[in-house]
Amino acid sequence: MSGSGGFPPALRDAILEWFGVGTRSLPFRGSTDAYAILVSEAMAQQTQAARAGEAWTRFMGRFPTVEALAVASPADVLRAWQGLGYNRRALNLWRAARRIVDEFGGEVPADLAALRSLPGVGPYTARAVAALAFGMPVGAVDTNVRRVLGRIVAGDAGTLTPVEVQRLADAAVPLDRAADWTHALMDVGATLCRPRLPICPACPVRVWCRYAAAADETTKADETTKADARARVAREAPAPFRTTSRWLRGRILDRLRDADDGDWVVIEGSIGAHDADSVRLAAAALASEGLLELDGGWPAVVRARLPLA
């Protein structure tokens, strides 16, 4: 496969042409504001795109500028984040906003190193903001992009090291359409090049893809059988989520979200399948992460509130 990064111009054109017709309609796709894009990227990781889009619209209505987020209380930010999970991201986004205001004059920095210095901003988020907001020709590698690139070039993303994938992603970006390319690769991975049962016949780059070339009908039939079996087991198995620490942490924070600023909430007894000891341990962990404050009387009584500063 010739061309920069193993991608001939025709392959890139095919992906971009497909993207122009089949673009997912997501609220944050219409924004070029770096702050708005930073918020969307913080929300979209490990969250369904449609759900993140709805949350982004609400959040931006509450905090339309980086200055508005920076002066908010952590409690307000955690309330606005309700329903998304991974609440540490909310606090990191708030801390990043304060850094942007204090150190960068209220402007999201257009520099990878500076972006990486912000709380909660890792390699993927920094590159996504750089490409989407500033048009920098850098590859943002999430799970979808890693799978798409790996399958096209090597037949399997697992055969490439993270360094190789990043080098490939950076080299593949069209210099004049970094934002469109970033969205397009993510959409190919989310809608066609799925982890199981990819829709190869509809993929715009099937003729270049080593995975599609190697996936004969026997392999696809085997994948279908396995996928059906997994789906059947999932339908028959009881939902385990309510037994997890993540579920419990979310329910504790939801109780605090319902209280007025500054009011202490007494949390007694069990919550769901979690006994009182598990509740105390979860509350202590949340406090250690700055997601709530504990009042006197701890640990005999759990009295907590959302953090005010």
Q: Is residue 215 part of a domain?
A: no
Domain boundary among 170, 201, 232: 201
**What is the SS3 string spanning the chain?**
CCCHHHCCHHHHHHHHHHHHHHCCCCHHHHCCCHHHHHHHHHHHCCCCHHHHHHHHHHHHHHCCCHHHHHCCCHHHHHHHCCCCCCCHHHHHHHHHHHHHHHHHCCCCCCCHHHHHCCCCCCHHHHHHHHHHHHCCCCCCCCHHHHHHHHHHHHCCHHHCCHHHHHHHHHHHCCCCCHHHHHHHHHHHHHHCCCCCCCCHHHCCCHHHCHHHHHCCHHHHHHHHHHHHHHHHHHHHCCCCHHHCHHHHHHHHHHHHHCCCCCCCEEECCCECCECHHHHHHHHHHHHHCCCCEECCCCCCCEEEECCCC
List 17, 41, 103, 293, catalytic entry: 41
Q: Are residues 25 and 169 in the same domain?
A: yes
Q: What is the domain-level CATH number for residue 140? A: 1.10.340.30
- Whether residue 197 is found in the same domain as residue 274: no
Do residue 269 and residue 191 come from a single domain? no
- In whole angstroms, what is the distance from residue 157 CA to residue 150 CA? 4
Same domain, 253 and 194: no
Q: Is residue 236 a part of any domain in this protein?
A: no
pLDDT confidence band for 128 (50 / 70 / 90):
very high
Are 95 and 152 in the same domain? yes
Measured from the Cβ of residue 84, the count of other Cβ atoms closer than 10 Å reads 21
Q: Determine, yes or no, domain membership for 218.
A: no
Summarised one tens digit per residue, pLDDT across range 171-230 is: 999 999 999 999 999 999 999 999 989 999 999 999 999 999 987 544 554 555 555 555
Claim to verify: residue 98 and residue 247 sit in the same structural domain? no
Q: pTM for this structure?
A: 0.84
The domain tally of the chain equals: 2
pLDDT of residue 226: 53
Domain that residue 104 falls in: 4-201
Is residue 226, in this structure, part of any structural domain at all?
A: no
In b/e form, how buried is each residue of 10-36, taking b as 16+ CB within 10 angstroms? ebbebbbebbeeeeeebbbbebebbbb
Beta-carbon contacts of residue 28 (< 8 Å; ≥ 6 apart): 36, 37, 39, 40, 44, 52, 53, 56
Q: Are residues 301 and 193 in the same domain?
A: no
The yes-or-no answer on residue 236 being catalytic is no
Q: Is 220 a domain residue?
A: no
135 and 259 share one domain: no
Answer yes or no: do 193 and 293 share one domain. Answer: no
Q: What is the pLDDT of residue 171?
A: 94
Residue 222 domain-assigned?
Answer: no
pLDDT in tens, 137-158: 999 999 999 999 999 999 988 8
Classify residue 10: in a domain, yes or no: yes
Residue 24 placed within a domain: yes
Does residue 63 sit in the same domain as residue 172?
yes
Same domain, 271 and 141: no
Query: Average pLDDT, whole number, for the chain?
Result: 88
Residues 246 and 111 grouped into a single domain: no
